[in-house]
Amino acid sequence: MKKSILLTTLIFILTVFLLPLGAMAADTIKLGVVTPMSTGDFRSGKINVQTVELAVEQINAQGGVLGKKLEVVTADDEGKPAAGVIALKRMIAKEKISAVVGLWHSSVAVAQEKVATQMQVPMMLHYSWTDDLTAGHSDYVYRVGPFNAEIAQLALPYIDKNYKNIAILYETNAFGSGFANYLEKIAKAKGLNVYSIGYPQEATDLKPQLLQLKAKSPKPELLVIAAVYEATNLIPKQALEIGLAPEMQILCSWDWPTYPAFQEILGEKGVGVTYATFESDKLKLSPLGEKFKKAYKAKYDVDPPVFALFLYDEVMILAETMKRIKSSDPKDVAAGLKDTKFEGTTGLITFERKEGPGPVWNQWMGHQLFINKLTAVEGKSYKREQIYP
């Protein structure tokens, strides 16, 4: 009699408590977002989370994936490799995610790549630039965004046409060092004179490095800034304060001058600064791109930066892949991504793979680089004109 009561009680506990938990876990497909949310480039991290949430909201409104809703799971990597590794390991083990997106700082993503490969969960990179991330030819790493060597090659024709003496001020991390080293190599091969100076990514006072450049002879005509941390906006400001600019042209290595923080710090002094970007008024968006841009503006009251387009593409590619292969298992998804042929926000996305050493592995190569110049303050932003191509 006691055994019967005990068995009945056990069945009741399993039915009421444990089985519903299992059913709840099976009701959603989890997509991980590991990105800087408190320190590091947390402003971009916020945009990453917003982008994924919007994409998932749209997918779920259309019926979800494989009869289930997508669920966004977020974690803060703090812009630090150690924190990023812990966050990703915990997420994979606890949340059973099908894939991870939103990875940002290259130095963090390099450490996270080892975790994703070892634990066999696909990771997609939308704006982590170091060549090392795909140079290892992992079957679990895919990149829709650009990479250092590609960016330097795309920017060199503009630099070579307009300048003979250039300086590169760069963060001594995976992104900054990788970009600076490759740009210096190919610029010198073209006959340009190059000064390269690195600084710790946490630095906020860059006047000592800028004064070194001011003392150089011949003087640099162009300063290329390779940064993503807080110094992004401080370097142009401090270059102006010591008189290095505007005599020397400033080229920011990507589009942070379009962010509100840049105008808050530089104001009118920001006029004349140039920046490299993958976005342009002349860049034709696909119907999907127009839809996303309109929805993002409606939801967040600001136009999405170009990297949000690439991240949005990644979420849509993951959903399309799961539907196509009829599975959300991470190993299946990683294998299925190889056959991607997706009309993204800015072009048809496929993943190229080249045998032998090099970063072109599960890599989209359809990027276009533009150089813009800030021409005037306009409300909470700047007017700008495209000066290349």
Q: Mind listing the pLDDT tens digit for each residue in 232-276?
A: 999 999 999 999 988 899 999 888 898 888 999 999 999 999 999
Return the DSSP state at 65: B
**Lookup: tokens for 162:** 């307009």
DSSP 40: S
Nearest CA to 141 out of 89, 197, 103, 186 is that of 103
Average pLDDT for residues 71-80, to the nearest whole number? Answer: 97
The kind and range of the H/E element at 28 are: strand 28-35
Question: Binning pLDDT at 50, 70 and 90, where does residue 15 land?
Answer: very low
Reduced to 3 states, what is the DSSP secondary structure of residue 20? helix
Residues 259/306, Cβ–Cβ less than 8 Å: no
| Closest listed residue to residue 224, CA positions, set 252, 182, 244, 195 | 252
| pLDDT the model gives residue 380 | 79
pLDDT at 16: 38
Give the pLDDT confidence score for residue 17 in this predicted structure.
Answer: 43
pTM confidence score: 0.84
**Residue 109 carries which side chain, given as an amino acid letter?**
A
Q: For residue 222, give the DSSP letter.
A: E
**Alpha-carbon span 321 to 313, nearest angstrom:** 12
Q: How many helices (H) and strands (E) does the chain have?
A: 14, 16
| The two structure tokens encoding residue 365 | 């190569």
Neighbours of 135 (CB within 10 A): 16
CB 96 within 8 A of CB 25: yes
Closest CA to 141 of 316, 312, 324, 330: 330
**327 pLDDT higher than 70:** yes
Quick one: pLDDT at residue 373? 96
CA dihedral 41, 43, 45, 50 (to 10 degrees): -170
What single-letter amino acid sits at 128? S
Q: In the prediction, which pLDDT does 26 show? A: 62
Average pLDDT, the chain: 92
More confident call, 384 vs 281: 384
Cβ-in-10-Å burial (0-12, 13-18, 19+) of 353 comes to: exposed
Decide if pLDDT at 24 tops 50.
Answer: no
Residue-wise pLDDT tens digits, 109-166: 999 999 999 999 999 999 999 999 999 999 999 999 999 999 999 999 999 999 999 9
Burial of 335 (0-12, 13-18, 19+ CB in 10 A): middle
